A and B are shown apart, each in its own frame.
Chain A
Amino acid sequence: MSLQADPNSLEARRSYLGSKVFGWLCALSTAICIAALVWLLVDVLMNGLPWLSWTLLTSYPSRDPSKAGILPALMGSLWLIALTALLSIPTGVGAAVYLEEYVASSWWKKLVQLNISNLAGVPSIVYGILGLGLFVRGMHLERSVIAGALTLTLVVLPIVILSTQEALRAVPGTIRQASYALGATRWQTVWRQVLPAALPGVMTGVILAIARALGEAAPLVAIGAVAYVAFVPQSLSDEFSAMPLQIFNWAERPQEEFHGLASAAIVVLLAVLIVLNTGAVLVRAKYGRRIKW
């Protein structure tokens, strides 16, 4: 019997057609996703670019659209993500290192792991309520920047832990073995070999977590951050505003001009996100290059 398939048989035609249809369906799904994204971007850019100006970046919110700006919101957001990064990176990476490198598998560990995975999926408003009860009222931090940062830390912590764990798992066991065989302690092995090798993955996870924190509005609303704040935060205990809140506030208003301002603020927010993500890509490229498993 010939090895060549008969292209005219019924089975051949059906299978060929099936493959093609499946391929088209996948391509269509991709196209829909990209189209949605492009539509969003185009809409935002069209509405927002006319309103994008130096005034926008350096002024305070105002009733007059021509004078309104996002300075306190932008500064507030930057303060928030800086503090969140400072709080969540050591805790999250530390927890992940402990779980991956120091604890042997046991029922207790599986329980903790399950809990962390679930926490990553909890809606952020729940963290907002927790923050309200624990940080704002319980610790008497009131509506301060530090309370906001602590709440956002809770939101992003599970993400940081999970992505760091993934990055640590990706480091081959042979590296650890080689390190131990040379007389290194567990800490030396983790600090000098495993973490540096896992760094690109860890950084990616951290930056994604920070990007998420940048876009969160619900928990901040819950702890009482307001959109009309007339000053830039100067210390940890100052009241604050944030970009998502400002955008929401403006989008809610009836006047068209404020919708344009909201779009402009979205463009600024997206720009910050792009900078962060590009940073992540560059870090990966620079450190990931040296590591070829």
Chain B
Amino acid sequence: MPETVAIRRHKPTLKAPAIDPMRPSRSADEMADAPTKINVADVEFFYGPKQALFGINLAIPEKCVTAFIGPSGCGKSTLLRCMNRMNDMIDEARVKGSLTLDGQDIYAPRVDVVELRKRVGMVFQKSNPFPKSIFENVAYGPRVAGERNKARLYEITERCLRHAALWEEVKDRLDDSALALSGGQQQRLCIARALATEPQVLLMDEPASALDPASTSRIEDLIFELKEQYTIVIVTHNMQQAARVSDQTAFFFEGKLIEAGPTTDLFTNPKKRQTEDYITGRFG
């Protein structure tokens, strides 16, 4: 009779990323109490014939930071872009299932996409300031919404630049070209620009991936402050960043949502094997 060998859970030699004690995330109770800002129910996404998202079910709680993690091509950016209907610009994109913001279906036939995008702002991976002055960049959102009063626009610009921790650096050169700023400054400018429309949700697609560690750290501090006021969803390739910054984490793999839960739980005690393998760096 073959010996039964006690199967011992192999202790990973690679460690899961540590939670940052300086930036405590919200507890599971806090998040359970928070109302759901965006609800994703049975969402499937197709690029033409190719399916990119399979039956995603996820609730994004209000005024928390939710991180989407997963290897390249797993669909996290695609889901993010569904939330402000940026995928509408792709010709063969199709969405099935329901995505609601404050309970309202954002893909309903009579939805004003312009209004949606004012409420759900986006910051892109590579900073893309307009080739105009710093002031013109931040004021663009309110301008297209109809604000004409110069004084009001300056007020909004100052508020958003302060919020984005960029005011001190640019306050006496608001009319300079935005393209003259450094990479980290440009990304903070893009965040300020997104804040100018007074959104309720901020979607960030790998906002610090093109930045050096110092700038990355500043952006992360910023996100931590912003979550007091805004619901934030951040896609990141960098698991350590997700661990540092988010309250809830969702792990995606090949278009499916494998596991989602409070960050502390997911990183210290993942329920799925795949999740554990990914966060300890066995693949991806």
**A residues within 8 Å of B by Cβ?**
104-105, 172, 174-175, 177-185, 188, 192-193, 197, 290-292
Contacts and interface: CB of A to CB of B under 8 A. Distances in A.
A54 to B, nearest CB: 46
Contacts of A182: 117-118, 121, 140-141, 144, 193-194, 196-197
B181 to A, nearest CB: 12
Contacts of B91: 104-105
B89 A180 contact: yes
Which residue, of A182, A192, A291, has the highest number of chain B Cβ atoms within 10 A? A182
Contacts of B118: 182-183
Contacts of B141: 182-183
A188 B117 CA distance: 14
A182 B196 CA distance: 9
A181 B84 contact: yes
Contact of A178 (B116, B177, B190, B197): B190
Nearest to B114: A183
Contacts of B84: 181
Contacts of B130: 175, 178-179, 193
B140 A181 contact: no
Given A174-B124, A188-B144, A290 B131 contact: yes
A177 B84 CA distance: 12
Contacts of B177: 290
A33 B250 CA distance: 65
25 contacts: A174-B126, A177-B89, A177-B128, A178-B129, A180-B89, A182-B117, A182-B118, A182-B121, A182-B140, A182-B141, A182-B194, A183-B117, A183-B118, A183-B141, A183-B145, A183-B197, A184-B140, A185-B114, A188-B144, A192-B144, A193-B130, A197-B131, A290-B131, A291-B179, A292-B131
B33 interface: no
Given A183-B115, A183-B117, A174 B128 contact: yes
B179 A184 contact: no
A188 B114 CA distance: 11
Given A181-B84, A182-B197, A291-B131, A192 B140 contact: yes
Interface residues of B, number: 30
A183 B143 CA distance: 10
Interface-centre pick from A105, A181, A184, A188 (highest chain B CB count, 10 A): A181
Contact of B114 (A178, A184, A197): A184
Given A174-B128, A193-B130, A181 B179 contact: no
A192 B130 CA distance: 10
Given A177-B128, A183-B145, A292 B114 contact: no
B86 interface: yes
Nearest to B85: A180
Contacts of A290: 131-132, 177, 179
B232 interface: no
A177 B117 contact: no
B86 A181 contact: yes
B179 A292 contact: yes
B122 interface: yes
A175 B140 CA distance: 12
Contacts of A183: 114-118, 141, 144-145, 197
Nearest to A188: B144
Contacts of B128: 172, 174-175, 177-178
Contacts of A185: 114, 144
B81 to A, nearest CB: 10
A105 to B, nearest CB: 8
A181 B122 contact: yes
Per CB-CB distance, the 5 closest pairs between chain A and chain B, nearest first, are A183-B118, A174-B128, A181-B122, A183-B117, A182-B141
Nearest to A292: B179
A177 B114 contact: no
A193 B137 CA distance: 11
Nearest to A293: B131
A129 B144 CA distance: 47
B86 A180 contact: yes
Interface string B146-186: 00000000000000000000000000000001010000000
A181 B81 CA distance: 10
Given A178-B190, A183-B118, 17 more contacts: A104-B91, A172-B128, A174-B124, A175-B131, A177-B128, A180-B89, A181-B86, A182-B144, A182-B197, A183-B117, A183-B141, A183-B145, A184-B114, A184-B140, A185-B144, A290-B131, A290-B179
Nearest to A181: B122
